[in-house]
Structure 1
């Protein structure tokens, strides 16, 4: 199961302009989910919202209603340092969903592209990847060509999408 934050979905639908990546991700044999608070409060641009809604309507993505706003606020208080980064609702919803799902034995991975959220996931021992890692996995498994994956990465970086080069090829050893 891939649990998506809004940043990655916005990058797929808006920045890369490649909604077909969702179809390709399904070939990795992972269920694609968006936590309900990410859906309700974070995905507001029409292109991404309509894209996700289309995949939900066909059963290719699922909106996962797993965390209440109160649970997320409590989790925020547990993990946040008031003097540092204020984690967003979506990031916390994704990470908390993983914490609830993974003990059940369901294979899950957070999809996070914001550095502070990735740092929090690392600190909590949570499995994650980002869009660049997903592109590498698609290329490594022959679902898309390496040249195509590299071209999408170039387009994303040109549009302002940033990730350290060291983390572009995967999830700090966590793989997909």
Structure 2
């Protein structure tokens, strides 16, 4: 997962428990070490508690030389986005089920070019609803709260 989804659930919504509740449905929540160390600047005590409890797992740091091919092909992406895509390529290569959670449009297009499975924060919210972790009313409330806090989403997206 890229930083935006953690910021949305842990900072904006203060509902990180929704992400970790997906674990009970067989999902594993993974965050690249680089993103945790460099891209999440706000106070995320709840996130760190979830990591300590094993509800979120930190992926190992990727060596610079291992990410250079992606950086060369997609120079407009930041390191965190490149790492999420790198891990997507890795999981795809070892035939594991995965989603790369990316919200940035350019990052999503880059992942699509590599035929990597992607989803965004809104997709996570939809999945939470489909898994009946949240109701349709809660889904709408969460969506509207994110929209009111300035979270970018398509104007056509119906909360």
Partner of 1:83: none
Counterpart check, 1:17 vs 2:14:
yes
Q: Indicate which of 36, 60, 63 corresponds to 2:58.
A: 63
Gapped regions of structure 1 (runs ≥ 5): 81-85, 170-176
Counterpart check, 1:88 vs 2:78:
yes
Cα distance, 1:166–1:127 mapped onto 2, change above 3 Å:
farther
Counterpart check, 1:152 vs 2:149:
no
Distance in 2 (CA, whole Å) between partners of 1:77 and 1:168 is: 37
Verify the 8 A CA contact 1:76 1:92 in the aligned structure 2: yes
Describe the superposition over 1:67-102 as per-residue Cα deviations: whole angstroms up to 9, x where unpaired: 21332233211233xxxxx21111110000110122
| CA apart distance, 1:15 | 1.3
Partner of 2:33: 36
Distance in 2 (CA, whole Å) between partners of 1:42 and 1:71 is: 20
| CA apart distance, 1:27 | 3.2
Gapped regions of structure 2 (runs ≥ 5): none
Two-structure CA RMSD over aligned residues (Å): 1.9
Distance in 2 (CA, whole Å) between partners of 1:103 and 1:60 is: 25
Q: SS where residue 105 of structure 1 aligns? A: coil
TM-score, normalising length from structure 2? Answer: 0.91
Verify the 8 A CA contact 1:132 1:168 in the aligned structure 2: no
Verify the 8 A CA contact 2:51 2:58 in the aligned structure 1: yes
Distance in 2 (CA, whole Å) between partners of 1:117 and 1:78 is: 12
Q: Indicate which of 88, 109, 112 corresponds to 2:102.
A: 112
Q: Indicate which of 5, 12, 23 corresponds to 1:8.
A: 5
